[in-house]
Amino acid sequence: MNAVVDEHYGNLIPVLCVKFFVIENRLLGNVDHELRREFSDDASDHIPSIVTQVTTGFRNQSKTFSGHDPRIMPMPEVTTPLTSQNAVLAFFDVDNTLMRGASVYYLAKEAWRRGIVGWRDISRFAWHQFRFISVGENHKHMATARERALAIVGGHSEHTLFELAEQIYERDILPNLWPETVDLTREHLAKGHEVWLVTATPQFVAEVIAARLGLTGALGTRVHAKDGILTGELDGHVLHGDEKAVVATELAERLGADLAECWAYSDSSNDIPLLTAVGHRVAVNADAKLTHHAEKMGWQVMPLNRAGLKEARKRVKREAKTVRKSRR
């Protein structure tokens, strides 16, 4: 049995297969009606010319089509979704990332409403808030504000302060949430990720925010309590700068998460250690120093607008691994 070699595919096409109109169980689209009659009449003398027409048509069609059947357009590329059997964590800063301004200011504001602090204290907090919103986080000023906030909560019961935090959320925090960042937390939850707030805000405030938004949990600054009454003294360190990276790493280890698969979002250059610790980092509403660092490192910079959110969500859908349901 004679055979012909197609130039493009390099395949041997048996003449006998051509005679029965079959190449890989498909009719070649170029075979015209006259050619079909020649086949049906068993015109053996025409086989050499038929094979020449067939192979030429096969070669010409290969320039436009791909696959086994040259009459069918190629299917879109199918990509396998990225999945993980391990926990994937997404860490979100709170102040000026998840919400506008500093949450500690709203704590002081509510304390002032209740007569816990005086006018001088609330004026100082208001000044820090103005600077924070205008020019970003100043470590010295924010440290002073947080220290004063810790002193405010001293002597009050944990129950009272959780109640106070609920009031803060409803009255002050909820109206100041950035919808773009909140949408990103939901994008991660939809992927099966655990979404954690990591903030210098007092723990009882951070827990209320996380619970109200349906997030996994919160890591905040803890205040020591004795017999249910807060002493006003730190239980550990203020969760700021390097400390955020430390607690995030500890949590990832405890949950069996690979930090290379985890995400972090922040507005402040003080959170560069946290952002560096994970595999996917996004500078949200970033201050000048973080913006410069992010651009230098090739990190994503997300402005708080519709276009920025759209791009960030696309990146999460494209690059974030989906946690398999069997794990949960």
pLDDT tens per residue, range 120-132: 554 454 444 445 4
For 198, phi then psi, to 5°, come to -130, 110
The average pLDDT across 293-303 equals: 96
The domains located in the chain, with CATH, are: 3-61 (no CATH), 86-327 (3.40.50.1000)
Q: What is the pLDDT, as a whole number, of residue 79?
A: 44
237-261: burial string, b at 16+ Cβ within 10 Å, e else: ebbbbebbbebbbebbeeeebebeb
CA distance 135 to 123: 18
CA distance 210 to 171: 16
pLDDT tens per residue, range 168-209: 999 999 999 999 999 999 999 999 999 999 998 889 999 999
For 220, phi then psi, to 5°, come to -130, 180
Q: What is the pLDDT, as a whole number, of residue 93?
A: 97
Average pLDDT, the chain: 75
Residue 273 has pLDDT above 90, yes or no: yes
Residue 113 has pLDDT above 70, yes or no: yes
Q: What is the pLDDT, as a whole number, of residue 223?
A: 81
Kindly report the CA angle at 169 between 166 and 172, in degrees rounded to 5?
135
Q: Which of 154, 183, 153 is nearest to 165 (CA)?
A: 153
Q: Where are the beta strands (DSSP E) in 105-240?
A: 194-202, 217-221, 223-226, 229-234
Q: What is the pLDDT, as a whole number, of residue 95?
A: 92
Q: What is the pLDDT, as a whole number, of residue 121?
A: 56
Looking at the annotation, which residues are catalytic?
93, 95
Q: What is the pLDDT, as a whole number, of residue 105?
A: 80
DSSP3 helix / strand / coil % (the chain, rounded to 5): 50, 15, 30
CA distance 163 to 205: 10
Q: What is the pLDDT, as a whole number, of residue 325?
A: 64
The average pLDDT across 75-80 equals: 43
Most confident option among 14-28, 74-88, 187-201: 187-201
State the pTM of this model: 0.69
